[in-house]
Amino acid sequence: MIEILKRHGLTLAIFAACTTGLTAVVYHLTENTIAEQVALEKQKLLDQVIPQTIYNNSLSKDCYLLTAPELGNTKPHKLYVARLDGKPVAAALESTAPDGYSGAIELLVGADFKGNVLGVRVTAHNETPGLGDKIETRISDWITTLSNKFISSENDPHWAVKKDGGDFDQFTGATITPRAVVNSSKRTAWLIQSLPEKLDTLSVCEAN
């Protein structure tokens, strides 16, 4: 009986070693492909908030970490700087709207340094399907109405939903979600204007 158990134990050990080895080989073979796909998805998202026509650097690699109360929490947020011939012309900045209906809404806001919002996209949320999820481009084009709009001040009254006296539509039966997105986008875009002078003081993102 003991010999049988030993044989089974040896068989299981060999199987486990082979499985582990196979997993390592598969990971090694697919690691570069996965990294390339992640980079492509990142660039695709950045292209939606900053037009490729206004910069000529590697936007996804020109990355810094920024912590500011305007971004909705105390964690570091990634900042991608668009440069034209070395000069900063715009930025895409991660932001969090902490006051969504069902929790925090993660955003990527693109703006130049003159107050022009170039684009906004939602990257993660838990809003109600059929109501708050209209902030997704696959559901609605509402988020695109924030593009190509000017922000004149930190408290620009135009940057609010219509129910609050601003320019942007709210959703039928769901005002909290668009209000959170508009307000967070406004705070983030206004913050972006002050960043060119601060870039030298920011930490660079780790290579990924």
**Rounded (to 5) percent helix, strand, coil in the chain:** 45, 25, 30
Who wins on pLDDT, 17 or 102? Answer: 102
- Residue 90 confidence (pLDDT): 98
Nearest of 103, 69, 93 to residue 176 by alpha carbon:
103
The pLDDT value given to residue 21: 55
Spacing of C-alpha 46 from chain mean position: 8
In this predicted structure, the answer to whether residue 36 has a pLDDT above a threshold of 80 is no
183-205 confidence digits (pLDDT tens): 999 999 999 999 999 999 999 99
Q: How far is CA 115 from each of CA 152, 185, 186, 195, rounded to the nearest angstrom?
A: 7, 12, 10, 12
How high is the pLDDT of residue 117? Answer: 98
SS3 for 83? Answer: strand
